[in-house]
Structure 1
Amino acid sequence: MQSAIRLGSMLRERKFDTEADFCASACLYAFLGGVRRSTVGDNPRIGIHRFYRSQAASNPTMKQFTGVDMDSTQRLMAGLLFYSPRMGVDLRLIALSIDAGPSEMRWLEKGELELLHVTYEPGRWTDWRVVTPKNSQGVLAISETQDKTRSMQLLCSQGRVLFSVIDENGDAEWLRQCRDSRNSHRLFGADIPSSKVEVLSNPSGIVFQLPQKAIVVSTPAIFAFDNDDYPMACKDIEGRYFGTMAGFQRMWKLAIGNCVD
């Protein structure tokens, strides 16, 4: 286990990525060292279990642990609790190890791998969900990249339906240029006048005020590369603002269903 942690730390220090189709036990902790972590194949198997000594596994009821053993166990657990969040992984992963004993394995499902950041792609957009923002009525539908530097939000606020894209590392001047390149912008089946589009500076972002009518559940992408409405200088060739449709149809109804005709 300690060797796996050292290997994972070395991978992170050298900024390597990791991928696996089968990785269990100590292998998992080495895998976590990757800056980008992905699975391959149609049925990847990533597993975790409680750590143990081989003697304890063969005779679990035998009294065989000394004070030194207990100390080593606590040190190892402390190491895991320090290492996992340093790699950007949710500590609930460690808790899941309790599900599997010495001769078992707790295989992680795809959703768990993503939720706990075992698999991690900084720029990948997460499924849409709804949250209740502070000091605001109603709910907010939101999707964000795994590194949380970019987000898309859909909200009904004071009778206005707002769709915003926030980018902590974005270029507000570029967004302003793209807003002003057209008199109107096609989004969710509606033509939105540029006068109803606001560009933010800190952090950078763009906010579209949608008409109060049923929106078309289509891609939330803005300035998409395949959108012929915009000049080449205003096309998102890197796919930063493509977003995801996962969960969008259900979440937008929860967020703005009562605000549109």
Structure 2
Amino acid sequence: MMQGSREQINRAMTSLRDVGFINYFGMQRFGNSLISTYHVGRALLLNQWETAVDLILKPREGDDNRWREHWMNTRDAKSTLEMLPHHKKSSVEQQLLRGLLKSRNDYQASFYSIPRNTRLIYLHSYQSYIWNVIVTQRLQRDGFKAAVGDLVQKSVENEVLALPRVEYVTEENENDFTIYDVVLPLPGHGVKYPVHQAGKWFTEELAKDGLTVEMLKNSNRDLSLSGAYRKCVVKPTDVSW
């Protein structure tokens, strides 16, 4: 629980009401262990299946590591399953180990023993990580205002779309928008990117991980990321305290 003086609370809540907040993805998006889920997502996008499995199964601080160390030393799924603590029953780790046992350590096949929704969490976590990095850089560069080259979401009534329609901020329409209209893409092959420096940052961040936008389109539907859009800054309504 966070605590503060009445003055601090009033100042913080006034800012929340009048300015809003940066629309970061929260820590729950990245897992609750020392191995962030976005690391696993990155390995999947690179088709590094053994790395992805090891990231989930390797020893970590604050856990019973005997079975984890046993797996890393022996690669014997059967005996590792026998050592698995009771609280790990029905866990992702157990599902992976069962998949490894059934497939005789086929790392890609074993990953498909995890429910699809769980597999997608890893990929979406990677998208969220990149988005958080870029939104920080974008606000540092241009501040809390719409800038030429930004993307803003169009208002389309009575139309169902897989992705919202977006348009670019130009010198002609720049004054028509505020920071609350500005969106950034979650990286994917089916979205537009800003046409100022932030667009280059997406390319650079992906390149650090050995990825390109084109690589986010995969013949394997489970590994193909079309992308999405997310508002950079959000102002809540009806705030009281």
* TM-score normalised by structure 2 residue count: 0.28
- Report which of the two has the higher share of helix: 2
* TM-score normalised by structure 1 residue count: 0.27
Q: Using CA pairs under 8 Å that are at least 6 residues apart, name the structure with larger relative contact order, 1 or 2.
A: 2
The structure with the larger Rg is: 1
- Report which of the two has the higher share of strand: 1
